């Protein structure tokens, strides 16, 4: 494997190794594809072995340097072992993207109570981001380099009415605040960024009602839904040397938010 200094404009992440959690679908899957095509050796993380195996096989031809790992992020007591094994098998790691998040908007979980949804989001989104970032960040700081990217939400700071707004503002707002503080702790060796997607057409967006379809377009200055690829391209930029002087920032990916959208 080449060193990070051997990157080129055509392969800006050549020589880098990246881990993306929750990478079997949606935004995570798009990030794996984007980083891999930019030259990074990627480690695809997922919770279900059969899904991880399937997605890894689907990427096999276009991403020859793709590896995979299986771990349930609800197993908090095993985080240290997970990071140690990942670092031992694939490291030293240059990029870690905490993308994994619980789906409480579609499927069976959509019928859960507010309290159950909050508990799941707390465990899978917030606790995993905090714990994994701290564990990986400590290792990166020791080797003198690395970039951590966390996933927030563009409306977490302004707020959005309703159960979903309250849930995601609480959890993603915590991730965003944590990311700013972690950047202070790990500087100057390690950069920490938080990408905050807006209306992105993932599983929920594909089945959302016409009212939500109109709202998503109305609140975007570009008059369209974002795509997982829109988010992935921003992640690829912030982990590259082109963004070497960008640190501790929350970066909205929403096409520009229309504040007076009513």
Residue ranges making up the domain that contains 222: 4-250
Residue 262 CB burial class (10 angstroms; 0-12, 13-18, ≥19) = exposed
**Residues paired with 70 in a beta bridge:** 46
Has residue 67 been placed in a domain? Answer: yes
How far apart, in whole angstroms, are the C-alpha atoms of residue 222 and residue 71? Answer: 38
* Mean per-residue pLDDT, 232-255: 97
Question: Does some domain include residue 146?
Answer: yes
In the 8-state DSSP scheme, what is residue 219?
T
Question: 32 in a domain, yes or no?
Answer: yes
d(CA 194, CA 186): 14
Number of domains observed in the structure of the chain: 1
| Whether pLDDT at 3 is above 60 | no
Confidence of residue 261 (pLDDT cuts 50, 70, 90): low
- The answer to whether residue 259 sits within a structural domain is no
Q: Quote the tokens at residue 261.
A: 């959208």
pLDDT at 193: 98
Q: Is the pLDDT of residue 6 over 80?
A: no
Q: Is the pTM of this model over 0.75?
A: yes
Answer yes or no: is 258 within a domain: no
pLDDT band at 215 (very low <50, low <70, confident <90, very high): very high
Of the pLDDT bands very low, low, confident and very high (cuts 50, 70, 90), residue 203 is confident
Summarize pLDDT for 69-126 with one digit per residue, the tens.
999 999 989 999 999 999 999 989 999 999 999 989 888 888 999 999 999 999 999 9
pLDDT for position 173 = 97
Q: How confident is the model at residue 1 (pLDDT cuts 50, 70, 90)?
A: very low
Which tens digit of pLDDT belongs to each residue from 143-181? 999 999 999 999 998 899 999 999 999 999 999 999 999
pLDDT at 19 exceeding the cut of 70: yes
Instruction: Provide the pLDDT for residue 4.
Output: 44
Residue 61 has pLDDT above 60, yes or no: yes
Report whether pLDDT(36) > 50: yes
Mean pLDDT of 11-30: 95
| Distance, CA of 163 to chain centre | 23
In a domain, 257, yes or no: no
Q: What percent of the chain has pLDDT over 90?
A: 81
What is the predicted pLDDT for the residue at 8?
Answer: 60
pLDDT of residue 207: 78
Mean pLDDT of 54-64: 92
The pLDDT tens digits for 43-52 are 999 999 999 9
Tokens of 241: 């040397």
| Domain presence at residue 261 | no
Residue 260 domain-assigned? no
List the CATH number of the domain containing 14: 3.40.50.720
Q: Which three-class secondary structure string do you get for 56-107? A: HHHHCCCCCCEEEEECCCCCHHHHHHHHHHHHHHHCCCCEEEECCCCCCCCC
């Amino acid at each position: 494997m080449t060193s990070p200094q051997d990157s080129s404009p055509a392969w800006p992440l050549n020589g880098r190794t990246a881990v993306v959690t929750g990478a079997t679908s949606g935004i995570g899957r798009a990030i794996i594809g984007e980083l891999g095509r930019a030259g990074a050796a990627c480690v695809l993380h997922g919770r279900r072995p059969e899904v991880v195996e399937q997605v890894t096989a689907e990427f096999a031809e276009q991403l020859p340097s793709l590896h995979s790992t299986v771990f349930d992020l609800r197993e908090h007591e095993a985080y240290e072992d997970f990071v140690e094994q990942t670092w031992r098998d694939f490291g030293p790691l240059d990029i870690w993207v905490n993308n994994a998040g619980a789906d409480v908007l579609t499927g069976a979980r959509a019928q859960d109570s507010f309290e159950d949804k909050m508990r799941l989001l707390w465990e899978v989104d917030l606790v995993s981001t905090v714990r994994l970032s701290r564990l990986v960040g400590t290792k990166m700081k020791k080797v003198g380099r690395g970039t951590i990217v966390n996933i927030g939400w563009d409306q977490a700071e302004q707020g959005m009415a309703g159960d979903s707004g309250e849930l995601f503002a609480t959890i993603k707002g915590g991730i965003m605040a944590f990311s700013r503080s972690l950047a202070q702790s790990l500087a100057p060796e390690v950069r920490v960024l938080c990408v905050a997607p807006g209306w992105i057409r993932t599983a929920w967006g594909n089945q959302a009602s016409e009212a939500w379809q109109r709202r998503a377009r109305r609140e975007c200055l570009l008059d369209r839904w974002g795509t997982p690829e829109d988010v992935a391209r921003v992640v690829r930029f912030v982990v590259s040397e082109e963004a070497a002087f960008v640190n501790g920032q929350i970066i909205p990916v929403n096409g520009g938010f229309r504040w007076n959208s009513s």
